[in-house]
Amino acid sequence: MTSLHKQLIARSFGAASGYDAVARIQRIAARQLAQRIAQTCPTPGPQRILEIGCGTGFLTQHLRRLFPAAQIVATDIAPGMLHQTQAKFLDDPALSCHVMDAEQPDLTGPFDLICSSMAMQWFSARHETLRRLAALLSPGGVMAFSTLCRDSFTQWRGYYATLGLPCPMPVYPDLAMLEQEWPRTGKGSWTHETIIEVPQSALSFLRELRAIGADVPTTAQVLPGGLRRVLKQADRDATFSVNYNIAYGTFRRTQNCGVFVTGTDTGVGKTLTCAVLARAWDASYWKPLQSGIADEPADTLSVATLAQLSSARLHQPAGIYAAPLSPEDAAACEGKVIDPDRIILPHNPDSRPMIVEGAGGVMVPISTDFLMLDLMERLGLPVVLVARSSLGTINHTLLSLAMLHQRNIPVLGIVLNGPDNPYARSAIERHGKVRILADFPLLADVNAEAVAQLAHRVPPWETLRPGKTDP
């Protein structure tokens, strides 16, 4: 969708001063969506809520009734709509309004609930927008949407088809398409209902669309006089009705149990750290992409030996490559291209956490337009960042943290490998706003006994929470 078209949408809805008086379907959809949210969100309810396309506050009012203590950020692309919402909540200090294009969210998560009623049909890139919004969810967080779907306005579209005219109304997705567009970081489902209205005439239907700002056409161009012909065609029918097929979707981000271990560089001690964490937390281990096996043993074998893991606690890599290069280049050397969609977090049959080891650092390429950072975001695990303790580590560590924070990826903590460096430790904690999870000294001999000793330096898994900075 062009920025000009978005400006038209914002201007049209912003000018809809009579929205509340005629937006009957929008009221119904907001009420129905609120009921689904109440059934989906666990007690005691979300603490932080992001509402997309709040309009004049139909859903916002339900949210405040359901969750009186929650912090709500209500957003809309149309400032005029936000002003109307704000006027209804003047005495609510826990609610703020923010002008925002939902397809380019500029807020910082995490949110426990992200919801939107009857705004999603205006998205030009639903799949990408849902991915971006899901990245703002806390683990276990919920998204809930209502939107128009396939076969809405059947009779009205039929008039255009009979006259051989292009219909300026958007083509809405069916439920199967909506199901396919949920992000891979969780699970969602869609249901739908049909609401039928019988307006006084086709002309009154159009006038009400204009009154709520929903008369912005698609790129389809109707010939001069075409609308007049459509209205005449509608007048020939004894009854003119409008069907609204409304889809309701809920999505929950996976509350994955485990961590993604990455480093500020190659060779900083990620594999040793993974072995120590697996030993300390009685965890399973998975390295999705393994390269460099032509020069040294695979990391899965090393971790299994050092942490003394059984085969039941090891998961096979999604890709193994000989060359000691980035996954993208190592695969290319073998005439292969990595498909990120095939890198799926393995199922853990028990409740133990999983240690996932990345390759290199956060910006290492996996394939075209897909970095290790994208994989971290997709898997939805908090990150343990491994860094050297030596001179230069402050810059490298803070740069890596900046990229993780930019994507709203939670950081469980930092592991420093090498001689004790209290200055680096303090600077990283203060400027990176993270905890130092553990310090590992240089080892004369890396073996299972040394790993067992280092495991005592790691806090118990049950005591850790992403984003908590105290030791």
Residue 291 annotated as binding site: yes
Residue 185 annotated as binding site: no
Nearest of 370, 364, 154, 409 to residue 267 by alpha carbon:
364
Is residue 367 classed exposed, middle or buried when 0-12, 13-18 and 19+ CB atoms within 10 A define those classes?
middle
Residue 268 annotated as binding site: yes
Residue 402 annotated as binding site: no
Q: Which of 88, 187, 232, 287 is catalytic?
A: 287
Instruction: Return the SS3 of 62.
Output: helix
Residue 359 annotated as binding site: yes
What is the distance between the alpha carbons of residues 229 and 166, in angstroms, rounded to a whole number?
13
Q: How many helices (H) and strands (E) does the chain have?
A: 17, 18
What is the distance between the alpha carbons of residues 335 and 64, in angstroms, rounded to a whole number?
56
Residue 142 annotated as binding site: no
Residue 269 annotated as binding site: yes
> CB atoms < 10 A from the CB of 146, how many?
27
Is residue 252 classed exposed, middle or buried when 0-12, 13-18 and 19+ CB atoms within 10 A define those classes?
buried
DSSP 3-state percent helix, strand, coil across the chain (nearest 5): 40, 20, 40
Residue 272 annotated as binding site: yes
Residue 170 annotated as binding site: no
Residue 441 annotated as binding site: yes
232 catalytic residue (yes or no): no
Nearest of 7, 117, 129 to residue 55 by alpha carbon:
117
Single-letter residue type at 304: A
Please, what is the Cα angle at 113 between 258 and 80, to 5 degrees?
A: 145
Is residue 247 classed exposed, middle or buried when 0-12, 13-18 and 19+ CB atoms within 10 A define those classes?
buried
Annotated binding site: 267-272, 291, 357-360, 441-443
Please give the positions annotated as active site.
287
Annotated binding site for substrate: 291
Annotated binding site for Mg(2+): 271, 357
